[in-house]
Every structure is written in structure tokens, then in C-alpha cells.
Structure 1
């Protein structure tokens, strides 16, 4: 049997067969054979300044390309530094394989450098966490990692390699990458959902990230338009219907969720972002009936009892549901008035935005930033949010034109994703605008990785909403206690000068009229550029506790 030079070659060859083009990492001797394998296989190696950024970049790669992402972390602290990224991938359902170094098996238990049994730490936030059994099986083990990560419901897999095993010869491995048959939904489940829609007078359709990840965007739009159901978009589902589409009622979300009698949720969990699945009950309306549709049976909610559910490949589910609605004789006229009412409410909300999106208030109102940004965004721009109150405005006022072009931390809510996500976005969408929206709090987690953007020649426009506080904490704490602690940052900190010092460029903006010209300079610069905008710390983003 022919042998590879070492086990690192085998691991990288399998990764490449699964479509991996970039290895994200921070240098460590425990994983040198993986780097050597990448050199042999012609795989790009992109090194960052903190392991969390490597995992976030791998996760964003998976979310943007719908192929698996790869992060390689050295043993011990390299892996523990990456845990938050793995947890985010877990909550986002992102197919990521994290390969870790491990102290030599021949020295195990004797106190080798960075000796730590990693899989038990990673097990709660992965689909699978394990140690490769030996150099002879590394090809098979890595294939199992990728196969597991990419199978619905997708998610991260962790595998580590004992250092002495990784440096050892390993046999060539033939990868069997046959695409598994998609999971067919139960026709009876689809028929039950169709009957519910046929009975509804105030239905709402929620489309989430897994619609994009399951490549079901065409089926989703066809279903919504064929059956004229008002749509609210969530996560990477944003852009499935473009801004201005008559069925897109995300801006009427409160009314839609508060007065609906049927909510069909597709491709996203019934978590805090959706009021835990409790809809209706507003203005005298009864509680809504809820349908949950997921890409795998394991993802159907268990904390509440939906009146119907379905699981399977989401394209097959949505095409099948459309056919079932035809067989059930669903009449869109039953809820046409409701759809018109929501459309009118959404249009009124958009119209009411104009004053603040063009506000000349001084200090700067955060909404003015998005009023200016919307003027210069291309349809294929990738917009990344990493922050609290500042980025909350983006979720409300930036409406992607296409699906798959919005990235935020997701339900885990981990700050610090931004630079890793931006690295991945620039690599995977080389001709698109890449815009990273940072709160000044979030900037403190990962701004050093601007150095990675500079070294690897990855131009990104960064916009920092700098209000000098932890806004998501300061305002609620004042409301609760009448005071706040641990919620202050230095006003107008020159994050732009940090970027300049690292080899990029930037500027501080303190007046509303300066925002537009600064953004145009940033997009024209061709370098990592941070527009540092001093916003009003007294303005609190409006929110409630239900997530509706």
C-alpha cells in the first residue's frame, strides 16, 4: 500500500476532496504536518492573530459557500481559544471541521507541553468530537468528520491528532464523497400543513438560515409567491425576498406575529428571536397555531407542541408543500386582505424611517449611518454585523437584496465574530463589497486581526458605531436600578488609528454630513478601512423581552 509522506498529507487530501480551499489557522508546532500537507496539496493557508478568528473565518466560509469550512488549531490553549467559534458554529448549524493538535500519545500522561484531553471540552458544542485512532486510520477518520459535519442538520465536528501520529507515515485514502439521498418529507405531514393554511385567515411564513444552507431559496420564494403568504425573514434567510417585495413584511413583524392565526416557521429554531414560538394574542387575537419545518427531525422544536411539523430536505419540503396546497384547494382569497394590511403596515414603517435615516442630529443618531450606507451598497454586498445596539439597527434597516449575504453571530450572540467573518467574506466573494459593522464594544474583541486583513491583502470596509458605552447593558441597567456599572468605554476612542497603525486606513467622523463622503472614501480605498463614527450614547435601541 502506497504511503503519504505523513498523516498530515492524508488529512489535507481528504479535506480538499470535500471542497475545502482554505485552511484557517494560527501557527503551532503540534500541527506542522497539516501545514506541510496544505503546501503539498496546494491549499491556501491563512493565518490569523487569535484562534477564535480562525474558527469564525471557517464558519463564515461554510455559511457563505455552503461547503465545509476548515480551522486548524494547535494543542491546549489553541483549541480552548477556539471554543467560542465552535459554539457559534454549533448554534448556527454551520458545517465546520476543526482539526486540533494533541500532545504525543507516546508521552501521554507524563506532562507534555499543552497536554489536554480536548474532546470532552468540545463534545457539548459539536456533532462529534474525537481523537484520531492512529496514523493508519487518519484518512478514514477525517472523512468521517466531514461526512458528519455536512449531513443535515449540519454542524461542527472536532478531531484532534496526537503529535507523533500526525508526523508518522499514513496510507493514501480514497474518498467516497457520494452525495447522500436527500431526506424525503412525510407526505401526510405536508398534507396536514396544507390543511392548516387552507383554514387560516391571518397566516405568516418565517424563512430562516437553513433555507439558504439547504439551497432551498428557489423553492421558498416559489411557495411564498404561489400561495401569497406574507413573509418574515430571519438570519441568512434575509434576502430570500428582496426589499420592496409585496410579500416581505419583516417591517410589520410586530403586527404579523401579534395577530397571526397561523405561523409557519421554516429553517430556524423557535428560540428567543421568535418569542420561543408563542405568536398571536395581541389586540384580542387568540394565540396562533404554529407549524415548525426543519431540515432534520432532530431540529423540530420540543419545548412547545406545534400543531404540525415536517422534516426533510427543505427544497423537497417546500415544493411538496406547494403541491399539497394545490391538492387541498387552498384559497389565497381567504387571507388576501390580511396580506394587504401587513404590506401597508410595512410600507408605512419604511416611510416613517426617512426622518431618522436622514437625521442631522448632533451627536449623530445611529440610524443616519444606515441611511448613508444604504445609498452605497451594491446588491451583492456582504454585510456583517458584530455588535449590540449599533448592529441591531442594521438588522432592522439594512435589507439584503440577495440571500446568503448577511452574517451576524446568530443565536449564540458571541461578540468578536466580525474580523473572522470579514476575512472569509473577502476570500469567498472577491468581487463583492464586504462591509463589517462593529460596535465599539465588539471592536475590542478582534480588531487586532486587521493585521491579518493587511498581511493577506484583503480590503474590507469597517464601520464602527462608537458611542463609548456597552449600550445593551447600560440603558437596561439604568432602567432596572437607576444607575449603571461596568458599562462605560472611552468616548471617541480612535479605533481608526488602530487600523492605520496595523497598515490599513481610516478616519473619525463626528458630524452627520461627514458620513457619506467617508463611506465613499472607504469603498474607493482598496485597503482595510475603518470609518469610526461617534454616535449619540443617549439613544437606546428599542426592544422588548419577547424578541417580537
Structure 2
């Protein structure tokens, strides 16, 4: 048995290091000084930000990319409340984030200490678990258990409060146990066989793979299942890239033909939410495969609903011993639809217009993004085009706000991605509206030598709101921004570099300079405000 001594910060960090934490995202505050002291002594990297939301978003990026806990440390009161959107994003996205909050001293509770407030009622609705630890000698065991909760499917954030006297006080001879393994949820074999038989017997089956396929390390099993059963695969979220774009069963553009013509659709590792028409695929029977009972859809009754470890379920699909219908005609039908859609898009990707069309931006990015580049979306219409035109070549390389749709994730996600991958391209795609939420944290990137490329689609409006409001009312309000703002000058002032692009022919050169710069570099592209993303999904 190993025993450790130290103050509450030492014990907290030791517990989190036992589950893989290797960095801390934070904005400085006196309530959490012992956690910084512990990190300095242990050689754990401290990355500080200009707004607490970026600390939590950075921790979320690490948690999603590395499939282990990401750590954010927030000081008491406004430090915690500023991080609530990040916690909520992690909850919606199933990211195992650990947030440690400072807290006013318990021995003086009720006397009006600085930033004295009970955080738990605020964060309980957007976390898997939230607690306050009142004894220093309990910090190690309870934090280790909280991290295990975050990692257990369905994954999600946890919040732990450490009162001032708990984190500053010392404890001797605390038992430092090994972290328990994440429990494996065994699926019901009968439900798995039922789903596999439905897929095997289907004439026109489709698989939709979501973020939990990546989070559950099930991408290889997904590929094996798709190949064994010969089923076309579409993906969303971090499921994108599970099959490379050139795989014969990988599809992206033929969704209308697939969802409208399929007789069985297996939705794996993603909710039946607005992104998938709330699970209404016309006449198709739906199989909903989830990693935990909490993820089962309550508004839809699937024909089969295996729940448990996604690797086990998908491996069982791959080993299905029953009959498998021939799907080659169906695959050829979808491939024809896919190729037709791509041929129509070719002109848009090369559009030589003034102002610049967002599609042309992505046409140029497709030429320069490496296969292992991490692409980050933070915005509305401009980022919707990214989802349409960019096809990740590898799994675990796409980060977007997910179903919560919170703007302001970009700079935090960029920090987490750059720390995860020091040598890859990191590219943030940002609308000019989203830029207003987090661009100040370019200073954090520049000061801490975290180079990324930021491409802003600058159309001077809130496009996701302006165009629909015009259609509904014949006018719009509260949907305009200052046109032509020099966001690149903001980045220069904060220690980075950048340039504004007004002509399509200048995009290639600007992107080349951005990726070669070695600093946070913003390419400010003035795009067409009349160009509206052709949105067809019902968001509510």
C-alpha cells in the first residue's frame, strides 16, 4: 500500500494523475492556489486562459481527443459560473471532464466571505456528479471515484468543490490506491442478435455512427461490422472519419437517398435528436445502439435497442452467423447519389465570386488540410458548410459544439487540440459571430506558444438568425454585425498574426502562410452575407 502526504491540492492532483490527467486548464484565483502548487511540484503543465469558459472547453477537447479525463480548475463564485456553459457542453457531448472549483471556507460559512456561494445547485443539472469535499484526508479517494464516474458510459462531466480550508490544509498517510478500471456494461445477447439479424436480413440497411463510437474506442469494430454485413455508413460528430472517405462503404452526401430509401437504419452511439430528424426515417425500422441506458430514446420505440459496450455490440454484429442479404445494388444506388451530389458541389468549391462564397473557402482548405489535421468548428452557417464540404480522413479529428450548439468553444478546443497533438495542423473554423465569444484567448495561445490556424468566415451578420427571420417576418432585427471588421488585426494585437482576404484567388496564398507561420494566425475572409446555408432539418 502506498501512502502520500500533502495539502489538499497535492492529494487532488495525485488522484487525477492516477487516471491519466497530465495538464490543468485554469484562470488564476486565490481559492485554488494549492492546486497550482501541486502542479508545479509534479511537473504538470498549467495552461491559463482569459475566460473560464475556455478552460472548460479546453479540458473537453482533451477529454474527447484523448478519451481520458480533462481537467479544469476554476476559482470560487464567478470562476465557477463562467464555466457553466463548458460543463453543459461536456454533458451534451459525453465528455469526461473533471472541474475542480474553489469554495469559500466552510468554517466561516454564512459570514460573507469573498465569493461565498453554494455552487452545487447551479451545476447539478449539467453534470453526472457534483459534490463538496469537506475533509482533506478524503480528497484523494473521492476525486478518484469522481473521475471514474466521468469515464463510465455514458461519459460526462463531474464537478468537485474544495473549500478553502480543505485545499490548504494537510493530511498525512493518505492511502493512494490504484484507479479502478472503467466497468464494462455487457449488452443483452438476445437484443444484440435481434439487431444483427435485422441488419443481415435488410434489403436496404444504413448505419449512422456518432461520437460515442469514437469515445468507446469502437471505430475498428464499426468498420468490421460494416464490412461483414456490407452496410453503407454515414457519420456525425466525432464518428466522422470512422471509415475513411475513400472506403467503399463510407458515404456523406447521399443522406436524403439513404434515409428516404432505407428499410433498416442502425443509429449507433448518437442520440435520436434534431440532427437525425428525431428518429423519424419514414418507413424504416430503427435500431438504436447506445452505450448506457440513459441514452435510450424516450420519444421513439426502436425495433431493437442493444445497450452496452459498443465494441462488444459491433464485434457481435461483425460475427453474425445468420443470413446476410445482398446489398450491392443498394450500395451502388447510394454511390450514384453520392457521386451526383459531389459533382454538383464541384462548381461551388471553385466559385470565383465577389464577395467570396463560403464554399470556396472550403474548396481551398480541402487542398491544404493534412489527413491527420484536427478541424474545429465554432459557428453557425459558416461551420455548417464545413460539415458539408470537409470529410475527415481519420477518426477523432473533428471537434464541433455538438447538439448543445454553444458558440465560443473554438479557442478552448484549439488549446486542447494543440496540447494533444504538438505536431499536427490545428484549424479552427469560426463565424464572425462566434469570434466575439472567445477571440481574446488568442493571447493565451500566443503567450503559451500554442500555434493554430483560425479561419473566420466574416459576413457581418448572424447568418443562422438573419435569413430565417427574414423568411418568417419579412424583416430582421438584432442580426447585424459590423461588416468588414479586421479580426486579423485583433489577433496581431494579441501576439499572433493574420490577414484579410477579399478575393477568392487570394485564399490559397493566405492559407499557406497561415499554416507555415508557427503562431496563432487568423485568415479573415470577407464572405457573402446573402449566402444562406440551405438548412432543411427541423431544429425543434
TM-score (norm 2): 0.98
Tell me the distance in 2 between the aligned counterparts of 1:88 and 1:405. 18
Maintained 8 Å contact 1:88/1:414: yes
Q: Does 1:455 align with 2:457?
A: no
Q: Which residue of 2 aligns with 1:470?
A: 462
| Partner SS, residue 175 of structure 2 | coil
Tell me the distance in 2 between the aligned counterparts of 1:231 and 1:475. 32
The structural deviation recorded for 1:210 is: 0.4
Tell me the distance in 1 between the aligned counterparts of 2:149 and 2:537. 36
Map Cα deviations across residues 385-437 of structure 1 (whole Å, 9 max, x no partner): 00000000000100000000000000000000000000111110111100000
Map Cα deviations across residues 287-314 of structure 1 (whole Å, 9 max, x no partner): 2110000111221211211011101111
Q: Which residue of 2 aligns with 1:77?
A: 78
Map Cα deviations across residues 184-231 of structure 1 (whole Å, 9 max, x no partner): 211101111122123322111000100000001100011111211011
| Partner SS, residue 253 of structure 2 | helix
The structural deviation recorded for 1:25 is: 0.2
Q: Which residue of 1 aligns with 2:359?
A: 367
Tell me the distance in 2 between the aligned counterparts of 1:509 and 1:490. 17
Stretches of structure 1 lacking an aligned partner (at least 5 in a row): 281-286
Equivalent of residue 310 in structure 2, options 302, 309, 314: 314
Matches within 5 A, 1:62-73: 62-73=63-74
Considering only aligned residues, what root-mean-square deviation do their CA atoms show, in Å? Answer: 1.3
Matches within 5 A, 1:110-189: 110-171=111-172, 172-189=174-191
Q: Which residue of 2 aligns with 1:446?
A: 438
The structural deviation recorded for 1:118 is: 0.5
Matches within 5 A, 1:298-447: 298-323=294-319, 325-326=320-321, 328-331=322-325, 333=326, 335-447=327-439
Maintained 8 Å contact 2:209/2:235: yes
The structural deviation recorded for 1:181 is: 4.4
Maintained 8 Å contact 2:245/2:251: no
Map Cα deviations across residues 100-146 of structure 1 (whole Å, 9 max, x no partner): 00000111011111011001111111000110131121111111111
| Partner SS, residue 265 of structure 1 | strand
Equivalent of residue 219 in structure 1, options 218, 221, 236: 221
The structural deviation recorded for 1:176 is: 2.4
Q: Which residue of 1 aligns with 2:98?
A: 97
The structural deviation recorded for 1:3 is: 5.9
Tell me the distance in 1 between the aligned counterparts of 2:39 and 2:526. 43
Matches within 5 A, 1:177-326: 177-280=179-282, 287-323=283-319, 325-326=320-321
Maintained 8 Å contact 2:4/2:176: no
Q: Which residue of 1 aligns with 2:53?
A: 52
Maintained 8 Å contact 2:31/2:164: yes
Maintained 8 Å contact 1:248/1:343: no
Map Cα deviations across residues 471-524 of structure 1 (whole Å, 9 max, x no partner): 000000000000000000011100000000001000000000000100000011
Tell me the distance in 2 between the aligned counterparts of 1:484 and 1:499. 30
Tell me the distance in 2 between the aligned counterparts of 1:228 and 1:330. 9
Map Cα deviations across residues 139-160 of structure 1 (whole Å, 9 max, x no partner): 1111111111011111000000
Stretches of structure 2 lacking an aligned partner (at least 5 in a row): none
Tell me the distance in 2 between the aligned counterparts of 1:322 and 1:302. 28
Tell me the distance in 1 between the aligned counterparts of 2:263 and 2:538. 18
TM-score (norm 1): 0.97
Tell me the distance in 2 between the aligned counterparts of 1:147 and 1:77. 27
| Partner SS, residue 481 of structure 2 | coil
Tell me the distance in 2 between the aligned counterparts of 1:263 and 1:546. 19
Alignment length (residue pairs): 538
Q: Which residue of 2 aligns with 1:544?
A: 536
Tell me the distance in 2 between the aligned counterparts of 1:541 and 1:3. 57
Map Cα deviations across residues 9-37 of structure 1 (whole Å, 9 max, x no partner): 00001111111111000000000011111
Q: Which residue of 2 aligns with 1:25?
A: 26
Tell me the distance in 2 between the aligned counterparts of 1:545 and 1:218. 30
Q: Which residue of 2 aligns with 1:284?
A: none
Tell me the distance in 2 between the aligned counterparts of 1:42 and 1:203. 51
Tell me the distance in 1 between the aligned counterparts of 2:254 and 2:19. 41
Maintained 8 Å contact 1:143/1:175: no
Tell me the distance in 1 between the aligned counterparts of 2:539 and 2:166. 49
